[in-house]
Amino acid sequence: MRTDSWSLPKIPDRNLGVQARSGGPGNIKTLGDAYEFAVDVSDFSPEDIIVTTSNNHIEVRAEKLAADGTVMNTFAHKCQLPEDVDPTSVTSALREDGSLTIRARRHPHTEHVQQTFRTEIKI
């Protein structure tokens, strides 16, 4: 099995007056006919996490609110997937240890056709 990896860009934290962290550098791995990467969202509940895809970009955002509605903690991670990703195949799975795995299938090699998709998944 061939495994390739790409570096993910780190997005800057915004000064929100709350604890904020980004996903930091990571790797997108090629596993057979799919790409996969994982982020640590262990500080958040599933209902705090949103995964958004748009074209070949994936964004993971999480926001923890206090009982009074103020923001206590935020998380953001963005990455651009390689060109041969099928944007309709993006899935996510949250493990008990707080690791969120994002997976997307690769298109079979065909003539390149630009497609635009946007999907939002509420976990």
Residue 89 counted as domain residue: yes
Residue 91 counted as domain residue: yes
Domain, as residue range, for 89: 25-106
Residue 26 scores a pLDDT above 90: no
C-alpha 96: how far from its chain's center? 17
Report d(CA 84, CA 21) in Å as an integer: 29
Residue 66 counted as domain residue: yes
Residue 2 scores a pLDDT above 60: no
Residue 14 counted as domain residue: no
Residue 30 counted as domain residue: yes
Q: What is the mean pLDDT of residues 49-67?
A: 90
- Other CB atoms within a 10 A radius of the CB of residue 83 amount to 11
pLDDT at position 12, please? Answer: 38
**What's the structural domain count of the chain?**
1
Residue 51 counted as domain residue: yes
CATH of the domain at 99: 2.60.40.790
Q: What is the mean pLDDT of residues 103-112?
A: 75
Q: φ and ψ at 89, to 5 degrees?
A: -100, 5
Residue 100 counted as domain residue: yes
Nearest CA among 25, 51, 64 for reference residue 119: 51
Residue 7 counted as domain residue: no
The β-bridge relationship of strands 91-94 and 27-31 is unpaired
pLDDT at position 113, please? Answer: 61
Q: How confident is the model at residue 3 (pLDDT cuts 50, 70, 90)?
A: very low
Report d(CA 115, CA 123) in Å as an integer: 25
